[in-house]
Structure 1
Amino acid sequence: MSNIPSFGVGTFRLKGQAVLDSVRNALDVGYRAVDTAQIYGNEAEVGQAVAASGVPRSDLFVTTKIWTENYARSKLVPSLQESLKKLRTDYVDLTLIHWPAPGNGVELSEYMEALAEAKAQGLTRQIGISNFNIELTKQAMAAVGQGEIATNQIELSPYLQSRKLTAFLKEQGITVTSYMTLAYGKVLQDPVLAQIAEKHQSTVAQVALAWALQLGYVVIPSSTKRENLASNLLARGLKLDMDDMARIAGLERNGREVSPDGLAPVWD
């Protein structure tokens, strides 16, 4: 199994000062993992916030993702070197292929081999995938070898539980990283989660995050508010009982928020 911290801060949709503040506050309240991506257009700000934090690089876990236009063998490593410059670091801890993008003209085996090459060159400590279904995960494993894929970062929330895919990943020893665990805030209005939160004197966000953590997933919630960043982190200490977990299991509704045409696979 990979050694990815179970709790990180996400930076999707955050730009400029918002990402600087969010990452600064996150590191300040105790986060040590930061998730970004080439397409987010904020790697430079993430690098700036990390540098200003004074947290030693060896204590941090930084993840970025390769964007589709950089999948060709000739482009992937140079694009990651560019990301490292922006992030002000010699290496990232984890690099993911952002979307399988089946129609974009670069074969899966080509971009997975190029990603493995980036690892061999020491640009990234671990490699993985994001938004891959079971079939494409199998192909990715075949391209780089058993045990090489650290994680599959996928959309998961109480409304989208992807049980078939998560069971497969678990069986393969691939860590599940859950993004949009709060379904863009939709789950925050859920009456069942509200009851569970009241029972534990916690917030609904903490309940949703604790649910994912208890299933063994890594979570990377984002927030621009310092108090929410600190509050989310407390989910690590919240223990849900079997009844809570069963009630949350019942919320499944295949509520997918993101599935861009041309990038997404056929979901399991």
Structure 2
Amino acid sequence: MLLLQGGGYGVEKGVPTLLMAAGSFDDILAITGFNTCLGMAFSTGSTVFNVFRGVLEVVIGVATGCLLGFFIQYFPSSDQAQLVWKRAFLVLGLSVLAVFSSVYFGFPGSGGLCTLVMAFLAGLGWTSKKAEVERIIAVAWDIFQPLLFGLIGAEVSVASLRPETVGLCVATLGIAVLIRILTTFLMVCFAGFNIKEKIFISFAWLPKATVQAAIGSVALDTARSHGEKQLEEYGMDVLTVAFLAILITAPIGSLLIGLLGPKLLQKAEHQNEDEEVQGETSIQV
């Protein structure tokens, strides 16, 4: 998506920006919903309490994220040396602290939400300087991303997967993806996009990987901590769905975005003019 944005595809109508912003909001809903359901499944308290507990996690995550986001907007101050490195270190350090602290205090769903809100508000305050911080964090992501996906792959034993479980998981994914595509198309019908842009936005929502890799094994780990065999089987089913979602939707979705983007999205006029100028310059040389 960033490559399409850099190439000028769909930028005039804000398609890449819309998808990335909506994706962040979707991650918030997914993490919150997952932790709410996880608490209801493993808790011995009342269902009403667990539902309100999920809402409380959202409030705590947003409030803490706003507080930390406004804090790192102004600290360290802009006149300090190595400002970009200090900001990048604070974002990474506070994000890790938020995730581990939320688990320690019994509100695991608030940690991920806190990091999203914090980084969003910090970026608003840093304006043009945030690109330099983003490059440093991107390097850290390149280092730790293989570990994230490697851990979930190591948890899944292909030999132990039951055919009926795999078939049911694939069918569930297929139904969910179909509903997701149709719902996305309906939601953008009144947003001022043409039919090609609507089709692209619908299929751009297909790939799912990062959140699934991050929370896929949580249910299994929680079940193991309870020491119940039946709960461990349910946790393995959740992990299998996450594993198959990454394995199936991520490569297909990335391929569709790369192929459909240049064909369905309109390229910005200034981008075309820049390419024409570069072409004329190369011919003259």
Please confirm whether the aligned pair reaches a TM-score higher than 0.5, indicating the same fold: no
TM-score by length of 1: 0.28
TM-score by length of 2: 0.27
Write 1 or 2 for the structure with the bigger share of strand: 1
Q: Which has the larger radius of gyration?
A: 2
